[in-house]
Structure formats: structure tokens, C-alpha cells
């Protein structure tokens, strides 16, 4: 996996730039740093296959260590550092993590985990070692599934899983300056691996820094989840971000959830090319994405290595990108993997051109007292048509549909915005069947609770 990346970097005549937090380096230094990390982990413990936890903020060194650990024949276990200490301890035990690696100056935060803790600068050898290719079915990383509810489950992924898209992505357009603000501990953030394979420059950002980083003036490609676009539009509308700063931006890649019609229209009106990727941690990301002209409302074209069918509206997939099962969780594996087919839990359909359309999560479907099914995502998309709605979540309460709304911070007062939203909801309800109407809502300026990857949390 890493040997393939290095091969592609060296083949590329372009001097690829990789950086974060205002500092950049070239591909030769990047490869050298991976080799130094590889050299350290080859000798840290005897043998290969050790589970090494990465628990740190997005950074250049995070990516270097991730690649170095894999190149040494060991396994990266990628942690969401925002989780509680109790949850993190549980996950280290569940995944058999043997050592933790963290940001410089952060070791004390994890001293109570009962594991050795190293900081990034300590996990680099003075002597680089050659990178060897991983066997096809060797586990290279354990990521944690991140649905909108329930407990995280460890997902072992192999070189074969990562290679499914990695072998075809070099054929796609390259020469971009990519800004990656999604968390690297999640499969969405690890798409930066594929951008480097393609030959793109890469700036690693974060949820805290991306609105500042996008003002560099040279970003051409941006990864987001839809909620981030609302933040971007709010800054543009308030004048705190000038359109001129986005003149270089030509491509927006959206993951995690469907774009709303308004988000699509606004980006397209700015002359920006859209790509919507759909996938799960369990499918090493891409089930659908690039591969054809953009179709409004779709989640892209089904990848050539994936078979897709639907059962009772649920999307079921099969391919070399699909995991072999959760780590040491046999019952949970049997619930989603049947005869190598992965039951995604997402509802959707395909069209005659091979494009995939997602209508919502199966477990999110609200079953009303009369037996009728309601997709909260479809109602939320309608609420997003109100320009004052920044975020929203529809849910069932005693047999009725309610909504939580986070409002924009515009020129109107809080009370005026609440009244405007109330008028919008009343008008919207008139166009909906009686059982689909929103009977109550709470509107404030407090952000709604989300998962680490920006998805709305649901009960």
C-alpha cells in the first residue's frame, strides 16, 4: 500500500507539495520521513502485526506515522481523540492496541490508559529503512465505524481493501491543490492517500482551521461534509469571507450525507464542479463517486469494482473493498455480512446509468402510529430551503414529528429569526401530508450535536 504510494510519487515528474499548519514540504522529504518512521517501527518490537494506536489532531506527522507504521508491517489503529477517556480506554482494549502515539506534549493525557505512550518526535529513527509492499490480504489499519448512533466497532482493513480504488484513481484528473479538513482517523480523511496517489498537492487541515486555510488563494479542491458548506456560505453572506478568496476553488468533494438542492445550486452557480462520494468505513470508503458527469441528487456513479443491489430498499454491496468482518465481534459481523454481501443500512436506489441515490438511513426511518414510514432526511432537506436554517434534525416525539434547528447568525435578532422560521414551517406544512407535518420545533443558535465526521447525531 505505502510502497505503491511511493512508486506513484516518484513516477510523477511534478514536485508534489504536502503540508499542514502553514508549513509545507516536498515529496522527497515526505518519502524520507515515512522511511524514518518505518525504521523506528520495524525495531520497536520484535516481529510484525503489532497494533499501534494513533491519537492526535490532523497534521503532516499524523500522515507520516500512519504510512510509516503500515510500511513497517504493523497495523495502524486510528482514534478519535475527541472521545471520552472511558470510551477510548474501551476501544484500546477492544482493538488490542499495544502502544499509543500522540502529538508532542500530549503524552500525559493518556498516561492512565495502561499502555506505553510515545509522542510523534520520539517515533522517528535516525536511519530510514526501505519500504516493503504489504501482502494483499494483510490488515494494515483498524478504523472505527462512526454511524449516527450506537457504539463504535473496530473495522480491520487490508491492503486489498485500500487497493480497490487506489488502482483506478491515478486515471482520474490530477494537478489539484487539495485541502483536506476531514479527520484523518476516519476513512473520509484517509482519502488524502488517494489524492497523493493521483499526483495532487495536499494541505492537511482540520475543522478548526479549514475556513482559514481556504483563504490561502491556491486551493482548487476541497473535501467537506454538507454541514461545513453551511458554515462557508454564512461567512460569504456575512462578508467575513470574500468571494475573491475562492477564485481558485474549482472542485468540491462532499462525503457523509447528501447535499441539499440549495447547496448544489449555489456551488454550481459559483462555477464549481461537484463530486459526491458515498461509502462506509466497512467498505473502505468509495461505493460510488467519480466516474461520470455530475447528476443532481445522486451520490455519484457506482465504482467499477463494486456490485450493488437493493433488498427492501436497503443498499447491499459486494467487492474487494468490503471488510472481512469487525475485529473480534462475530455477532455484529453476522448482522451485516451475509455471503460476502455488506448490508449498509442505507436506503436508496440506482438508475439506468449506474448512479446511486441515497434516501436515508434504514434505522433512522420514523414509523408513525398509523404504520406510515417517514424519512427524516427528506424533511430536513425541505427545512434547509429556509435561508435562516444552518442545521436541522427531524425526530419523532409521542407519535408526532418535531425538529431541532440551529439558526444562522444574521442581522435579525434571535426572536425575529425564530418568528421567520415559524412562518416558514407553517408554509411548508401546508404542502405536506397531514402525517408528515412538523408539529413543533426548537430553534436556537446552538450547534446541533454531531459525530466526529460531521454527521448529525440521532437517538
Q: How far apart are CA 32 and CA 64, in angstroms?
A: 10
Q: How far apart are CA 201 and CA 245, in angstroms?
A: 19
Residue 115 maps to a domain: yes
Q: What percent of the chain has pLDDT over 70?
A: 96
> In the predicted model, what is the mean pLDDT of residues 355-365?
81
Report the mean per-residue pLDDT for the chain: 91
Domain with 381 in it: 365-444
pLDDT of residue 9 exceeding 90: yes
Q: How many other C-beta atoms lie within 10 A of the C-beta of residue 45?
A: 14
pLDDT band at 453 (very low <50, low <70, confident <90, very high): low
244 vs 83: which has the higher pLDDT: 244
Q: How far apart are CA 226 and CA 220, in angstroms?
A: 18
pLDDT at 330: 95
Number of domains in the chain: 2
Residue 25 maps to a domain: yes
DSSP 269-289: HTT-EEEE-EEEGGGTEEEEE
**With 0-12 CB in 10 A as exposed, 13-18 as middle and 19+ as buried, what is 387?**
middle
Non-local (6+) Cβ contacts of 361 within 8 A are: 147, 148, 345, 346, 347, 377
pLDDT at 212: 93
Q: How far apart are CA 428 and CA 425, in angstroms?
A: 5
Choice among 16-25, 149-158, 170-179, 308-317 with the minimum mean pLDDT: 149-158
pLDDT band at 369 (very low <50, low <70, confident <90, very high): low
Tens-place pLDDT, residues 88-103: 999 999 999 999 999 9
pLDDT at 7: 95
Would you put residue 240 in left (φ > 0), alpha (ψ -120 to 50) or beta?
alpha
DSSP 375-393: -HHHHHHHHTTSTTEEEEE
pTM: 0.84
Residue at which a domain ends, from 112, 134, 156: 134
* All three cell numbers of 97: 492496541
pLDDT at 145: 87
pLDDT at 454: 62
pLDDT band at 434 (very low <50, low <70, confident <90, very high): confident
Q: How far apart are CA 246 and CA 350, in angstroms?
A: 34
Q: What is the CATH number of the domain that holds 92?
A: 3.40.50.980
pLDDT of residue 150 exceeding 70: no
pLDDT of residue 53 exceeding 50: yes
Non-local (6+) Cβ contacts of 244 within 8 A are: none
Q: How many other C-beta atoms lie within 10 A of the C-beta of residue 301?
A: 20
Residue 272 maps to a domain: no
Tens-place pLDDT, residues 30-46: 999 999 999 999 999 99
Residue 333 maps to a domain: no
pLDDT of residue 247 exceeding 70: yes
Residue 22 maps to a domain: yes
pLDDT of residue 148 exceeding 50: no
Residue 65 maps to a domain: yes
Residue at which a domain ends, from 134, 158, 190: 134
* All three cell numbers of 101: 502515539
Residue at which a domain ends, from 109, 134, 159: 134
Angle 77-275-168 (CA atoms, 0-180°, nearest 5)? 65
pLDDT at 149: 47
pLDDT band at 202 (very low <50, low <70, confident <90, very high): very high
Residue 113 maps to a domain: yes
Q: What is the CATH number of the domain that holds 407?
A: 3.30.300.30
Residue 125 maps to a domain: yes
Amino acid at each position: 500500500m505505502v510502497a505503491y504510494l511511493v512508486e506513484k510519487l516518484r513516477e510523477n515528474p511534478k514536485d508534489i507539495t504536502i503540508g499542514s499548519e502553514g508549513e509545507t514540504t516536498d515529496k522527497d522529504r515526505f518519502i524520507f520521513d515515512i522511511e524514518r518512521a518505518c525504521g523506528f517501527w520495524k525495531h520497536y518490537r520484535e516481529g510484525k502485526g503489532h497494533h499501534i494506536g494513533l491519537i492526535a489532531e490532523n497534521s503532516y506527522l499524523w500522515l507520516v506515522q500512519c504510512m510509516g507504521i503500515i510500511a513497517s508491517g504493523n497495523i495502524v489503529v486510528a482514534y478519535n481523540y475527541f472521545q471520552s477517556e472511558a470510551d477510548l480506554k474501551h476501544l484500546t482494549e477492544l482493538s488490542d492496541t499495544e502502544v499509543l502515539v500522540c502529538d508532542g506534549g500530549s503524552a500525559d493525557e493518556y498516561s492512565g490508559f495502561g499502555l506505553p505512550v510515545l509522542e510523534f518526535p520520539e517515533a522517528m529513527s535516525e536511519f530510514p529503512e526501505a519500504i516493503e509492499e504489504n501482502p494483499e490480504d494483510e490488515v494494515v489499519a483498524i478504523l472505527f465505524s462512526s454511524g449516527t448512533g450506537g457504539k463504535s466497532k473496530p473495522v480491520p482493513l487490508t491492503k486489498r481493501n485500500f487497493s480497490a480504488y487506489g488502482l483506478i484513481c491515478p486515471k482520474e484528473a490530477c494537478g489539484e491543490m487539495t485541502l483536506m479538513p476531514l479527520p484523518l482517523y476516519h476513512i473520509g480523511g484517509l482519502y488524502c492517500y488517494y489524492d497523493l496517489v493521483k499526483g495532487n498537492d495536499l494541505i492537511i487541515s482540520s475543522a478548526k482551521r479549514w475556513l482559514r486555510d481556504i483563504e490561502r488563494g491556491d486551493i482548487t479542491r476541497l473535501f467537506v461534509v454538507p454541514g461545513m458548506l453551511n458554515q462557508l456560505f454564512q461567512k460569504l453572506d456575512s462578508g467575513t469571507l470574500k468571494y475573491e478568496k475562492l477564485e481558485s476553488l474549482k472542485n468540491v468533494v462532499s462525503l457523509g450525507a447528501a447535499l441539499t438542492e440549495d447547496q448544489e445550486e449555489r456551488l454550481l452557480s459559483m462555477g464549481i464542479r461537484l463530486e459526491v462520494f458515498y461509502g462506509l468505513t466497512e467498505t473502505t470508503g468509495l461505493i460510488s463517486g467519480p466516474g461520470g458527469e455530475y447528476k443532481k441528487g445522486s451520490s455519484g456513479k457506482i465504482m467499477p469494482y463494486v456490485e450493488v443491489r437493493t433488498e427492501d430498499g436497503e443498499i447491499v454491496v459486494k467487492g474487494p473493498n468490503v471488510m472481512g468482518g469487525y475485529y473480534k465481534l462475530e455477532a455484529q459481523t453476522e448482522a451485516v455480512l451475509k455471503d460476502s454481501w455488506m448490508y449498509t443500512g442505507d436506503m436508496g436506489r440506482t438508475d439506468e446509468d449506474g448512479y446511486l441515490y441515497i434516501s436515508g438511513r434504514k434505522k433512522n426511518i420514523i414509523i408513525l402510529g398509523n404504520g406510515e414510514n417517514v424519512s427524516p432526511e427528506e424533511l430536513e432537506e425541505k427545512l434547509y430551503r429556509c435561508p435562516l436554517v444552518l442545521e436541522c434534525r427531524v425526530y419523532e416525539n409521542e407519535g408526532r414529528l418535531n425538529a431541532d434547528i440551529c439558526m444562522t447568525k444574521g442581522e435579525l435578532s434571535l426572536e425575529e429569526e425564530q418568528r421567520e422560521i415559524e412562518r416558514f414551517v407553517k408554509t411548508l406544512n401546508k404542502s405536506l401530508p397531514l402525517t408528515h407535518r412538523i408539529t413543533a420545533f426548537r430553534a436556537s443558535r446552538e450547534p446541533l450535536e454531531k459525530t466526529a465526521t460531521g454527521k448529525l447525531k440521532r437517538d
